[in-house]
Structure 1
Amino acid sequence: MNLKEINVFIKNSVENIYDEIVKVRRKIHMNPELGDEEFQTSKTVKEFLKENNIQFEEIINTGVVATIYNGEGKTVAARADMDALPIFEENNVEYKSIVTGKMHACGHDAHTSIQLGVAKILAENKDKWKGTVRFFFQPAEETDGGAYRMIKAGALNFNGETSKKIDAFFALHMAPEIDLGKIGLKYGKVHATSAMLELIIYGVSAHGALPHKGVDAILIGSKVLEFFQSIISRKIDPREEAVISIGSFKGGETNNVICDKVKMLGTIRTMSAEIRSLIMETIKRDLPKFVESLGGKVEINLKEGYAPVINNDRITEFVEKNIIDLYGKESLEILKEARMDVEDVSYFLNEIDGCFFRLGTRNESKGLIYDLHHPKFNIDEESLKIGMGLQLKNIMEYLK
């Protein structure tokens, strides 16, 4: 097929299964499951694959890897995350979550449904492409990095073999900050890397009227906040992106006792693993001495989070051409700034040349304006068509 024929085929195919995929998306949306609890979602995925004669294997309990073999040729992979969030949904829709306190507030229900639609169309039209396509249905993106665990468990292997290389990787994320019909594309660094921070500061209790007889852990904690910001402002090149955020500061039980213990929880986010390491090493080396100079002691627990998301320039340029060819230049939105939130798709991109792009879902006329992780987040379901179409375009053009 030539370019025009491929585009017509893609748009017609997506239109034909749109209603079916909307039903799948709404079923998943109504039954949200948290990370590593995606048993019903995984069952829905596997039933859909079975109905369409697509081979699959289970991995790390709720994960699924589906593979379509279609003769000699290159190999392409795609990924969809499946987990929901511990949020009470506030949308008034017929497919509202029926699980109290859980909600698909990050669009993973749409990611999974789009990927199932793409798999179905490719499986039914093997005469139009050659090679192999692998689909990763991933648990626990929101929690402890299901992508890393899938890879460690052998998701990239073929029948136990590591010799067959995956040539390209494509993944998407719903984007309520981008208007419906547009696709956001970023070259190079896309998402930050992170680390989790937990501190326990120990002081000495005393009567509130006699503070000089104690060591105020709350006062030390306030100085520690300043210490963190001095790392950002004086240890890091100002041209680098980095932020330390403390989200929890707890200490003391009453109003007339000097606090002897403070617990602080926070995150470190940077655009490179090197800067993250610098910050973590500075905290471990210098913070104990700083706290001791104020009369206290500190326990430090630091844990590395996800790796940074970095798109491959060659594959990103390939996706850019596909967006323009399939949907027109007006549909392309080149993103200039990286996001400081994290995404464990980074682990796939560390192993495979690929591109992670953002699919516009915002529609102000329908009130679809809320950001990710908001209790009123929802998508314009027309975006399912656009997502399926572009993923089909990416895969078919790469494998033609």
Structure 2
Amino acid sequence: MSELKERIERLYPQLVEWRRTFHQYPELSFQEVNTSRQVAEILGRLGLEVRTGIGGNGVTGLLRGSVSGPTVALRADMDALPIQDEKECEYRSRVPGVMHACGHDAHMSMLLGAAVLLSEMKESVKGNILFLFQHAEELVPGGAAQMIREGVLDGVDVVYGIHLWTPLPSGVVGFREGVLMAAADSFELEITGRGGHGGLPHEAVDAVAIASHVVVNLQTIISRRLDPLQSGVITVGTIQGGQAFNVIAEKCRLTGTVRSFDPVVREQLVKQIEEVIGATCRMYGADYEFNYIWGYPPVVNDPGETRRVAKVARQIVDSTHVREMQPMMAAEDFAYYLQERKGTFCFVGAGNAELGVTYPHHHPRFDIDEQAMKVGVELLIRSALDYLGETSGSAL
């Protein structure tokens, strides 16, 4: 076992304690007041240059190495989700209707662990490392864009992020050069017809029936108007209309999400969605109000930095456990950092069937194999040191 692995092993009980504390006291997006305070206190005790309130609840800690050089940013997200925790364990959420159902509690713990160990290795750091704790990843407009606007990337040369991922077995590292995750937009639609008696439909304009046609017609955009070699998703997630079984609804409200990888396709989809909605409503004599909300852009990893992290991962786990990922239609506001600086975003597996850790992200019984945090900590540390070592001429 390497010296670094031994240090991580000794720190592991603290990683678990941090993670379970965060898990028991989760805070929603833009409400991470106590979480950010706890993070700042730990960073302060390490002697780092701490900055708080960045873009809202964002926190950073800057470690200045033994010699001047470039700056690596390592990012973790802090917010939880509006989900009731249904797990039966001692560390289940104590906040009704709120839980860490995506692993952000562990992301914070891993980054704090990296901060502890890198602070102890300060003489080996040939440059600077910025520990970036971001609020509000789960909710548009997201914390990343807010922190960037307030200068969080000033002086930063490269940025790395890790997401624990239960669909991957614990300890597996997943990477991909180029596009990894999708752009994620949303829309709101209200259709206005003319209400009437359920037995006299010819005297009404049925908003629910029109909404049903809209849902079906929107899918023809993907099946008939989008190049089959391109990718896109249009999902109508909610339909709300009508108040009584024998009354034809005057209004019906729909909301949905739109996912894509390519900027041209993204623009094409929003144009065609409104065309389909407009044509369908006009055909049946209804009016409509349509609002399209631009969300996070796609996550596009820098090829060189992705190869670096994959190389480092093979030094940590068996090479068979370092795998190329397929692009996915999930989204992440880490994309904004990658629009500003080179870097990469990767996954570390945290699923474990033997422990019953098989539930997907955003599930009420979501949990992780906490052993995966060891891989995450080492990957953060070694990636940062590899970059700084290479740029200073003394790579690991």
The reply to whether TM is greater than 0.5 is yes
Q: SS where residue 2 of structure 2 aligns? A: helix
1:380 aligns with 2:373: no
Q: SS where residue 296 of structure 2 aligns? A: coil
Q: Quote the Cα distance in structure 1 between the aligned partners of 2:216 and 2:354.
A: 44
Out of 233, 238, 242, which is 1:243 matched to?
A: 233
Could you tell me which amino acid in structure 2 is paired with residue 219 of structure 1? Answer: A
Match of 1:118 in 2: 114
1:61 aligns with 2:56: yes
Q: SS where residue 305 of structure 1 aligns? A: strand
Match of 1:161 in 2: none
Q: Quote the Cα distance in structure 2 between the aligned partners of 1:127 and 1:39.
A: 33
Deviations 1:69-100 (A, max 9, x none): 12222211111000001111111221111111
* Native 8 Å contact 1:194 1:267 kept in 2: yes
**Shift of residue 384 of structure 1?**
1.1
Match of 2:6 in 1: 12
Deviations 1:229-284 (A, max 9, x none): 12112221111110110111111111222211110011111112221111112233
1:83 aligns with 2:60: no
Q: Quote the Cα distance in structure 1 between the aligned partners of 2:157 and 2:153.
A: 11
| Equivalent runs, 1:16-165 vs 2, <5 Å | 16-58=10-52, 59-70=54-65, 71-144=67-140, 145-157=142-154, 164=155
Q: Quote the Cα distance in structure 2 between the aligned partners of 1:331 and 1:37.
A: 37
Deviations 1:18-77 (A, max 9, x none): 111211111111100000111111111011111111111111231102111122222111
Structure 2: unaligned runs, 5 residues or longer: 390-396
- Fraction of identical pairs, as percent: 38
1:300 aligns with 2:290: yes
**Shift of residue 343 of structure 1?**
0.7
**Shift of residue 16 of structure 1?**
2.2
Could you tell me which amino acid in structure 1 is paired with residue 139 of structure 2? Answer: T
Q: SS where residue 323 of structure 1 aligns? A: helix
**Shift of residue 285 of structure 1?**
4.2
Deviations 1:341-367 (A, max 9, x none): 111110011111111111111111111
* Native 8 Å contact 1:10 1:392 kept in 2: no
* Native 8 Å contact 1:55 1:67 kept in 2: yes
**Shift of residue 286 of structure 1?**
4.8
Could you tell me which amino acid in structure 1 is paired with residue 363 of structure 2? Answer: H
1:393 aligns with 2:388: no
| Equivalent runs, 1:308-323 vs 2, <5 Å | 308-323=298-313
Could you tell me which amino acid in structure 1 is paired with residue 335 of structure 2? Answer: S
Q: Quote the Cα distance in structure 2 between the aligned partners of 1:225 and 1:286.
A: 10
Deviations 1:106-128 (A, max 9, x none): 00000011001111111121111
* Native 8 Å contact 1:10 1:393 kept in 2: no
Match of 1:362 in 2: 351
* Native 8 Å contact 1:32 1:83 kept in 2: yes
* Native 8 Å contact 2:214 2:276 kept in 1: no
Q: Quote the Cα distance in structure 2 between the aligned partners of 1:61 and 1:325.
A: 37
Match of 1:271 in 2: 261
Q: Quote the Cα distance in structure 1 between the aligned partners of 2:199 and 2:349.
A: 58
* Native 8 Å contact 2:77 2:133 kept in 1: yes
Deviations 1:119-146 (A, max 9, x none): 1111121111210111210010011211
**TM-aligned CA distance change 1:97 to 1:286, over 3 Å:** closer
* Native 8 Å contact 1:194 1:276 kept in 2: no
Deviations 1:200-255 (A, max 9, x none): 00111121221111111111111111221121122211111101101111111112
Could you tell me which amino acid in structure 2 is paired with residue 87 of structure 1? Answer: I
Q: Quote the Cα distance in structure 2 between the aligned partners of 1:66 and 1:26.
A: 22
Comparing 88-97 and 75-84, the one that deviates more: 88-97
Match of 1:349 in 2: 338
Q: SS where residue 60 of structure 2 aligns? A: strand
Q: SS where residue 240 of structure 1 aligns? A: coil
1:259 aligns with 2:249: yes
Q: Quote the Cα distance in structure 2 between the aligned partners of 1:265 and 1:151.
A: 29
Alignment length (residue pairs) = 386
Q: Quote the Cα distance in structure 1 between the aligned partners of 2:174 and 2:81.
A: 24
Q: Quote the Cα distance in structure 2 between the aligned partners of 1:51 and 1:18.
A: 19
Match of 1:168 in 2: 158
Q: Normalised by the size of structure 1, how large is the TM-score?
A: 0.94
Comparing 325-334 and 185-194, the one that deviates more: 325-334
Q: Quote the Cα distance in structure 1 between the aligned partners of 2:281 and 2:371.
A: 55
Q: Which runs of 4+ in 1 moved over 4 A?
A: none
Comparing 308-317 and 248-257, the one that deviates more: 248-257
RMSD of the TM alignment (CA)? 1.3
Q: Quote the Cα distance in structure 1 between the aligned partners of 2:329 and 2:106.
A: 23
